Amino acid sequence: MSAAERVQAAYAAIERAARPEIWITLRPADDVLAEATAIDARVAAGADLPLAGLVAAVKDNIDVAGLPTTAAAPSYAYQPPRDATAVARLRAAGAVVLGKTNMDQFATGLVGTRSPYGAVRAASDATRISGGSSSGSAVAVALGLADVSLGTDTAGSGRVPAALNGISGVKPTRGLVPCTGVVPACRSLDCVSVFARSLGLARQAVAIMAGPDGIDPLATLLRCPRGPSPVSTLRRGGTPSPLSPPWPGERAQTARSCDSRPTLAIPLPSQLDGMADGWPEAFAAAVARVRAAGCEVVPVDIGPLLEAATLLYGGAFVAERYAAVGEHIAAREELIGRTLDPVVSRIILAAGKHGAAELFADRERLDRLAASAATTLAGFDALLTPTTTGHPTFEEVAADPVGVNAGLGRYTNFGNLLDLAAVAVPGGTAAGGPFGIMVTGPAGSDGRLAEIAALPDEVAVELLVVGAHLDGQPLNHELLAVGGVLAGPAATAPGYRLYALGTTPPKPGLVRGEGGASIAGETWRLPAAGFARFMAGLAAPMAIGRVRLDDGREVLGFVCEPAALAGATDITGYGGWRAWLAR
């Protein structure tokens, strides 16, 4: 698909989605289309633009030239003179920016509800939160409106929304991607994060954005011991924290091939208490898939990390939030409860009361916890946890905004405090909704973490669906019930025909035939055992066969027994089942 075609499809999808709360500023379609047309011309002339044909969304605390930066606070808005370094590098690689996305104000929160521009609803359940603070960026990707999006991550904002919306989120090593042009939440802890439907695309975006820019003093080139990936050869400057590589006992592991069997730590059973109903079982199923992929998994006491997590908001480190925007809020107290969110304002104004002595005491406490955590995790390649603890409703957040937020960050809040990298990926379903898992490791281990996170997919079955099993359709629950995870939109190669069958519920039949076309659908990843269970219940006239995609790959997919086509309606011209239903 050309860049211009992708832009046209994106704006059509944005209109269909009718989710205005995702965006704070959406660029005029004509401007974006003109930019995409120029990208196509450069590609045709031989330019190497690895992200050409992709559209991006950018969290509204990251500068995009020509668009206001608000950090979800109208009173804070300014016109940046240039793109943030991360944005400029994505655009230079051919990505086209659609607009700026909604967020928890001043990047303070993990809920996605703390914005005067509206609370962002989850992609798959409008009664539940999207997660924050990078709420709009995550949902834009989950709904297919953008291919890749930028968020930021201080407490988990690049990971929690990924888990709650069934997509991948990468929180790189601090300083791997410069924060030039990013409104700080906690300057020394902030990261630019990336959302995408596929982990591979998210990693590609990180690699393109990585490297010092000569402006951000915390973005410094340094070779790390973990593998040849460009993502794993960069890390921040400054004094390494106690959990910077190598962890004690890790030095001997660095010579091991990335093909060796990873050893992962997981929390003790008691440290999984308090998760939502069905979530401990979903994590157990994810652990089983990781073991089946060849990983050794060992329960350990992660108490020091969980205690460190409480320091992010419960100690003096929160004072850095006041340093960032506290004076702005203090000078505009009449706006609190109007355009300044009261919960955010209360947190940031209170943060200004911490003194230097308290900060140094908490720094010493954190160092001791980090040393203890390093001893606990010695010899492990990474820590595997649930990404978060549950998927709250809007009512639950309204009843206890601070408590719910704190619970969501149980497994993420310690990451930046201890200078860790993390990758959050879909991990199946829990209570009928998305469930995510997270792989966390020392600074500079970004490449290795991504390899580990991708291992379960290597033993998964990729299945193309084009009808009643599509996301949101009547039989989609059958895929969710066997651990299916949505991989993303897909389309067949030209040469297929689609027929509306007289079945209950209504479903289409896909066949290869003369005069056919490319048919829209989705690919899902199913664990091998789950695929076997699914096949056992497959009803005629459906069958599973090999289907060629428009990217040249062949995957398993739904096809139809030819005898069922008698009297069926040829709907090939609509290009897909959803288009036929919406005719």
* E strands, 197-341, in order: 263-267, 296-300
Which token pair is 431? 């209570």
Distance CA 441, CA 439 (A): 7
Catalytic residue among 124, 133, 135, 345: 133
133 catalytic per annotation: yes
Distance CA 20, CA 15 (A): 9
Distance CA 406, CA 309 (A): 9
* E strands, 159-295, in order: 168-171, 191-196, 263-267
Q: Which of 448, 533, 434 is nearest to 487 (CA)?
A: 434
> Helix (H, G, I), strand (E, B), or coil: what is residue 492?
strand
Distance CA 308, CA 305 (A): 5
DSSP state of 173: P
Distance CA 281, CA 103 (A): 31
- Please give the single-letter amino acid code of residue 250: E
H or E element: which one contains 313?
Answer: helix 311-314
Catalytic residue among 157, 193, 241, 244: 157
Q: Give φ, ψ of 330 to 5 degrees.
A: -60, -30
Contact 477, 277 (CB under 8 A): no
* E strands, 443-495, in order: 460-465, 485-491
DSSP string of 202-219, one letter each residue: HHHHHHHH-S--SS-TT-
Distance CA 519, CA 538 (A): 22
Torsion over CA: 77, 81, 82, 86 (sign): negative
Distance CA 270, CA 505 (A): 44
Distance CA 176, CA 496 (A): 45
260 catalytic per annotation: no
Give ∠ CA 153-194-301 in degrees, rounded to 5. 55
Catalytic residue among 59, 100, 171, 507: 59
168 catalytic per annotation: no
Q: Which residues are catalytic?
A: 59, 133, 157
